[in-house]
Amino acid sequence: MINRFMQWSVALLCLLAQASWAQQYLTARVVDAVSRQPIAGATVVGAGSIVRSTPDGSFALALTAPSGDGASVSLSLKAVGFARVETSLRAGVADNVVAMPRLRPKAVYLSVYGVTNRTLRDAALGLTQRTVINALVIDVKGDRGMTPYRSLARERIGAQAYAPPGTPRIENFAAWLKTLHARGLYLIARIVVFKDDPLAQAHPEWAVRDAQGDIWQDREHLRWVDPMLPAVWAHNLDVAEEAARSGFDEIQFDYLRFPDAPALRFASPSTEAQRVAAITGFLSAANERLAPYNVYTSVDIFGYVCWNLNDTMIGQQLETLPPLVDYISPMLYPSGFTWGLPGCRAPTEHPGEIVSRTLAQAVDRTRLPGIRFRPWLQAFRDYAFDRRPFGAAEIRAQIDASDAAQTDGWMLWNPRNQYDPATLPRQ
């Protein structure tokens, strides 16, 4: 009886202690580091909560336990067009201010082989000393399902066993990323989602099938996994979470689409509504999973998606994407515009026009500012028209068009990861 009375007494004291402290908040304002103007809509993560700044840049985080004035609270902040900020503020301070520096990434792409090859990697890093390049897009799960580090997510699902033999890796990957951050680089993790040959081999029940029911392979003889399956989503989000924990600033989803081939079989009928629901459903799930890490998110889309009013038969419908990602990255390679544009039937002869007109179309349709877009630009030899090399003139025309549209920077694609400094603007 005495023990029970003591238990009741302890419980009552705990309740009284909780009731005795008034709810505390950490308050602050978010401002542009240069102009000192308030930043509205910044996402703030801290003290177990996620809030957005108001039009005057202010926010308030409820503290989950009494902390006392002066207690330090760790925060993460992001806002479109700005660099992520990790900081600590003190509770009970009336004039807390977080200044966010503007950032427009200008990136080159490194595949798994590129980032693990010292020659290619050092050449890319050298660009950051001589040109405007200030960011890297790094394959975290590439076109052939390889990862440049030991991925526990891939091992758990059985996919690692089917990766190409001799896949190169970087030991202490997260520590290496810290060295890139120390150079001031913005880091984007590219994750190829539904084109995943190792995963389809490990789980053939998840593989896309042809009309006869056999496992389908694309022109590169690679298998895909079904975009409609929650298990496929969950695995890719495991990989995305690994990337976020490793220290990437942004998670970029590529091949977030259905295969562009007819008469394929999926878990549900391949109607436009079902395809779009699969793509938007995945992105919604990604937002929920990645929210605690407060990383930026982006999605790569076909260039023609900016023009087509339907889903281009692959589930990418432009107007459905803005609420689900921070940045939209259309692939504006002139070589990829097979049918040209109205009044422009030779895209490789007019690379700047392809970029400027497509971005204008995307902005017009979505009513978004240019800063919500960061396009992929062509830095490789044409393969579709006249086989011309893309040198300084062609690359600069694309960059100028992107800059004129006030995009959030741009990214250069070269599958061999070879970039000539002479083709790029200087610092």
pTM above 0.85, yes or no: yes
Interval 355-410: pLDDT, tens: 999 999 999 999 999 999 999 999 999 999 999 999 999 999 999 999 999 999 99
Task: Give the bridge partners for 251, in sequence order.
Answer: 189, 297
Residue 43: both structure tokens together: 């996402």
Residue 259 neighbours by CB under 8 Å, 6+ apart: 194, 195, 208, 216, 218, 224, 314
Residue 315 DSSP SS3: coil
Over the stretch 298-344, which tens digit does the pLDDT of each residue have?
999 999 999 999 999 999 999 999 999 999 999 999 999 999 999 99
Instruction: Tell me the three state secondary structure of residue 241.
Output: helix
Mean pLDDT over 63-82 rounds to: 83
Give the architecture (CATH level 2) of 106-423.
Alpha-Beta Barrel (3.20)
Q: What's residue 70's pLDDT?
A: 64
What pLDDT score does 1 carry?
Answer: 46
pLDDT at 132 over 70: yes
Cβ count near 316 (within 10 Å): 27
- The CA distance from 126 to 216, in Å, is 41
Asked which of 91-95, 213-217, 272-276 is least confident by mean pLDDT, the reply is 91-95
Report domain extents, the chain: 25-100, 106-423
279 SS3 class: helix
Q: Note the maximum CA span of the chain.
A: 92
Cβ pair 189, 243 in contact under 8 A: yes
25-100, CATH topology level: Immunoglobulin-like (2.60.40)
CB 59 within 8 A of CB 45: no
Write out the E strands in 168-285.
Answer: 186-192, 250-254
Q: Measured at the alpha carbon of residue 234, what is the angle toward residues 257 and 140, in degrees to the nearest 5?
A: 70
Report how far residue 27's alpha carbon sits from residue 59's, in angstroms, rounded to the nearest whole number: 6
Bridge partners of 206? Answer: none
| The amino acid at 102 | R
Q: Kindly report the CA angle at 227 between 365 and 384, in degrees rounded to 5?
A: 60
pLDDT confidence of residue 17: 43
- Mean pLDDT, to the nearest integer, of 151-175? 95
Average pLDDT over residues 92-98: 92
| 358: nearest Cα among 379, 349, 347 | 347
Cβ burial, residue 217 (10 Å; 0-12/13-18/19+): middle
